[in-house]
Amino acid sequence: MWQEKLVLEDVYDFAGIRKRLRGDRLQVEQDGRLFVPLLLPEGKFIGQIEATGPRTLLLSGEGPKEPMVQQLRRRFRLDTVSLSHQLSDTSLAEVVKTFGAERLVLDITPFTALIRSIIHQQINLSFAQVLMERVCRTFGTEKDGIIFPPTAEALRDLEPEQLRTLQLSGRKVDYLLGAARASIDFEQLMTAPDAAIAETLIALKGVGPWTVQNVLMFGYGREDLFPASDIGILRAFERLHGSRPTVEEAVLLAEEFAPYRSHAAYLLWRSIE
């Protein structure tokens, strides 16, 4: 097993990040260490990440070291300083004091972020997490006790009834199969502008602005997205300002966070969890 120690420029609240990632019912954690499924061109591998100090992390795993480290660094945002520094003089100043050393961790792949967002549409968080777990356990793959989410190839040939038996609505089944069968090259979009990715995704049945924003944030790590219609965001603004804004008002409130609105959204979510 290879190991690599990273010394970061900023304090990195790995404990806080672990706490939020527990919302993913498939996340495996042991003795403060996260076991991270990595889907690479070379195959499926499991990386490990743990904190050894407030600014130091230990990455490890078995498999091709360089691409695994690169993937872990990208998903856990280890190559950039915390964007909280840019928000410490905004209305989020108190939230930054509590959660500012955390980072917005990316999903396993952009396609995973897309199907997760589709499943989460307009249902409560806990049931959405149950449904996502069912889809991944049923149609994903398992390696050494770690579940890898299904790829588009694994979903595209399914019959609708195979998904409906998991208690997914007929409408969401249509959306998931449509996304899987669209033949989108999600990796090729990595270097595309936000607008080009949005145009590709919005053409899918059942994918609206909220879903696009979540995929851009959690699938591609884009820094200036803000899902203003998200109920959690609106609740966080209500706690912050004393009254719940409309979606239009939330868009205006978020302007002070530009061009770091994705991180601001993360902090707002954390403030009510």
> Do both 52 and 126 map to the same domain?
no
Reference 13, options 231, 266, 186, 272; nearest CA is: 266
Domain assignment present for residue 251? The answer is no
Give me the helices (H) in 85-144, please. Answer: 93-99, 110-120, 125-139
pLDDT digits (tens, 9 = 90+) for 120-144: 998 998 999 999 999 999 999 999 9
Half-sphere exposure of 256 (CA within 13 A, CB side): 10
Q: What is the model's pLDDT at position 80?
A: 86
Q: Which of 31, 157, 174, 230 is catalytic?
A: 230
Domains held by the chain: number: 2
| pTM exceeds cut of 0.75 | yes
Instruction: For residue 98, give both structure tokens.
Output: 């509590």
Domain assignment present for residue 117? The answer is yes
> Do both 133 and 39 map to the same domain?
no
Domain assignment present for residue 242? The answer is no
> Do both 169 and 206 map to the same domain?
yes
Can 230 be counted among the known catalytic residues? yes
Domain assignment present for residue 241? The answer is no
> Do both 126 and 77 map to the same domain?
no
pLDDT digits (tens, 9 = 90+) for 212-269: 999 999 999 999 999 999 999 999 999 999 999 999 999 999 999 999 999 999 999 9
Domain of residue 184, CATH code = 1.10.340.30
The average pLDDT across 62-90 equals 96
The average pLDDT across 188-201 equals 97
Domain of residue 73, CATH code = 3.30.310.20
The CA–CA distances, whole Å, from 141 to 37, 145, 150, 215 equal 11, 10, 7, 22
Confidence of residue 23 (pLDDT cuts 50, 70, 90): confident
pLDDT over 90, % of the chain: 96
Domain assignment present for residue 7? The answer is yes
> Do both 69 and 142 map to the same domain?
no
Domain assignment present for residue 170? The answer is yes
The average pLDDT across 155-182 equals 97
Domain that holds residue 176: 110-218
Distance CA 96, CA 87 (A): 7
